[in-house]
Amino acid sequence: MKILTAAQTREADAFTIAHEPISSLDLMERASSALVQWLEQKYDPAVPFFIFCGTGNNGGDGLAVARLLHNNGYDVQVFLPETGQNLSPDFSQNLERLPQAISVTRIQDMEDLALEIPASGVVLDGFFGSGLSRPLTGLYAQLIEFLNQQQATRIAIDLPSGLFADAPTPPGSAIFQADITLTFERPKLAFLLPASGAYVGDWHVLPIGLHEGYLSQVESPYQVLLPQAIKSLLRPRSKFSHKGTYGHALLAGGSYGKMGAITMSAQAALRAGVGLLTVLVPEIGYGILQTSVPEAMVVTDEQEQHLTRFPEDLTKYQCVGIGPGLGQAEDSRMALEQLFRHKLPPLVLDADALNLLAADRFLRQQLPPNSILTPHPKEFERLTGPAIDDFHRLQLLQSFCAEHSCYVILKGAHSCIGTPSGEFFFNTTGNSGMATGGSGDVLTGILTGLRAQGYSPLEACQLGVYLHGLAGDLAAEVEGETSLIASDLYKYLGAAFQKAAK
Ligand SMILES: NC(=O)C1=CN([C@@H]2O[C@H](COP(=O)(O)OP(=O)(O)OC[C@H]3O[C@@H](n4cnc5c(N)ncnc54)[C@H](O)[C@@H]3O)[C@@H](O)[C@H]2O)[C@H](O)CC1
Ligand SMILES: [K+]
């Protein structure tokens, strides 16, 4: 699903008004009805609503919600800061339509707000949405500071006021700290990035019927991965297939004290459906791998504690995953350098393989095209140099993928896949229980297993991050987020495949 910028959202709005056709006021009514429907499913009429409105269309939504909730028997109070701003026509219309019985408090300064908001109440933020053009100051900033201190549930309409939808918000700006954000039609880019996403809380997308004629044509490099698209990527296994049908993968890594990493990658590659798996480990790993992953074949390096060379000919493998537990010994780096000189099957590079790449510019230049790299932000910035903010990091991601013709999975709460052609795909599965050692090793195994089965690099990245996160979500339902450990991820991978295929 494409993500739109604030400017594109305005275009979608205008296109819908012109081509459906529908009046702008009726479109606002449709958006507000979608909000009310969501709110009424979650809260009963005993819950008091405190609705704060700016003077634009975000405020207009707030007023329409106030009327609709009131008409359905809810206890609603409206608060309007008076800063002399222009009123949008739809705001004015909705102010006229507001039933007399609803209490409206006009606020010129904070002293006008003698207000106790009970913890059981809901605060609705309708100050600003996609029309925000500069950071909030003055009365709006003061009101947001006040609301952010309240115990009541804070819900943002469309996006938290003070947050830019698709650009960095200057540090220190006043931003509504939402527990929940109910956004129209499409998630906003800011929701998916760590610094801005922290203000958004749980977000839900409410369809408001923006025109398909616009949505299907509009170009956006940003997409979110949703279940339908993932389902269409999954290839069913055929009845007359054999293990050769599903590829032979090689996973290379492990070192003294880090054999768990490569062991978990191996488990994950097998659970991802690879036909055959060979694991290359230092001598010390032989017994560990043969015992803990009996399904895998094991070859060892003559060095006891870390890898120092790769087999000359890797062309019998359909994918090679390198990195989990590898360590950063100088002779391991030399082995990688040696490896990159040969004709290679598709590569997946993680962890210490990325650190070795970061430390060696020459090695980076040799990176085989179509490789998949899976850094977390720190590993990524070792490869590219520091990012000023999350948006700059996306620019770095775009130029790195283009320069090296590779796919990078920038790991995070919404892991982001960067592609050589400049697209970004954000994942929507996963939870904070997955912030635990070994999670990334499992992802490497899944990607290696998928790639060996013949999925393209983009398909493998999309399926890999989505299924990895889904396995985490299914595991968390049973184990809880706190107790989730990386080995749960491959244990629940089968259930994730099944759910994704439904
Ligand atoms: N297509 C849709 O998704 C629909 C969205 N709706 C809602 O409309 C808002 C966007 O409304 P808009 O009037 O364009 O902007 P805002 O209400 O966000 O802002 C109003 C106005 O305020 C001025 N302004 C900007 N920044 C500041 C600032 N820092 N301080 C003071 N004033 C500021 C500027 O002139 C803005 O234009 C969207 O979020 C939805 O909630 C529709 O209801 C339905 C269709
Ligand atoms: K808002």
- Extract the annotated binding site for K(+): 58, 125, 161
Q: Give the atom of ligand 1 at the shortest distance from the alpha carbon of 162.
A: 29
pLDDT at 106: 96
Give Cα 446 to chain centroid, integer Å: 18
Cα separation, 228 vs 462, whole angstroms: 12
Give the HSE-up count for residue 175: Cα atoms under 13 Å, Cβ half-sphere. Answer: 24
The pair of structure tokens assigned to 274 is 């690879």
Interstrand relation of 180-184 and 153-157 (parallel, antiparallel or unpaired): parallel
As for the ipTM of the complex, it is 0.98
pLDDT at 426: 98
Q: Give the atom of ligand 1 at the shortest distance from the alpha carbon of 127.
A: 17
Domains of the chain: 6-220 (3.40.50.10260), 245-501 (3.40.1190.20)
- Ligand 1 neighbours by CB, cut-off 6 Å: 9, 12-13, 27-28, 31, 54, 56-61, 85, 88, 128-136, 157-158, 184-185, 210
pLDDT at 317: 97
Q: Let me know: does 82 contact 109? Beta carbons within 8 Å.
A: no
Our mutation pick for probing the ligand 1 site, out of 58, 65, 186, counting the most ligand atoms within 8 A of Cβ, is 58
pLDDT at 80: 97
Judged on CB neighbours under 10 Å (0-12, 13-18, 19+), 22 is middle
Query: Ligand 2: distance of its center to the CA of 102 in Å?
Result: 21
pLDDT at 444: 98
Cα separation, 392 vs 199, whole angstroms: 19
pLDDT at 244: 85
Interstrand relation of 416-418 and 407-410 (parallel, antiparallel or unpaired): antiparallel
- Scanning the structure block, which residue is given the tokens 């205008």? 14
What are the mean pLDDT values of the chain's consecutive 10-residue runs (502 residues total)? 96 98 98 98 97 98 98 98 94 98 96 92 98 97 97 98 97 97 98 97 97 97 97 94 92 97 98 98 98 98 95 94 96 92 93 94 92 97 97 98 98 98 98 97 98 98 98 98 98 98 97
Q: Give the atom of ligand 1 at the shortest distance from the alpha carbon of 128.
A: 18
pLDDT at 400: 98
pTM for the predicted model, two decimal places: 0.96
Query: Ligand 2: distance of its center to the CA of 91 in Å?
Result: 14
Our mutation pick for probing the ligand 1 site, out of 132, 183, 208, counting the most ligand atoms within 8 A of Cβ, is 132
Please name the residue whose Cα sits nearest to atom 40 of ligand 1: 58
Please name the residue whose Cα sits nearest to atom 9 of ligand 1: 58
Cα separation, 247 vs 242, whole angstroms: 10
pLDDT at 181: 98
One-letter amino acid at 275 equals G
Counting ligands in written order, the one closest to the CA of 56 is 1
CA nearest 34: which of 193, 152, 157?
A: 157
Distances (CA, A) of 392 to 325, 396, 397: 30, 6, 9
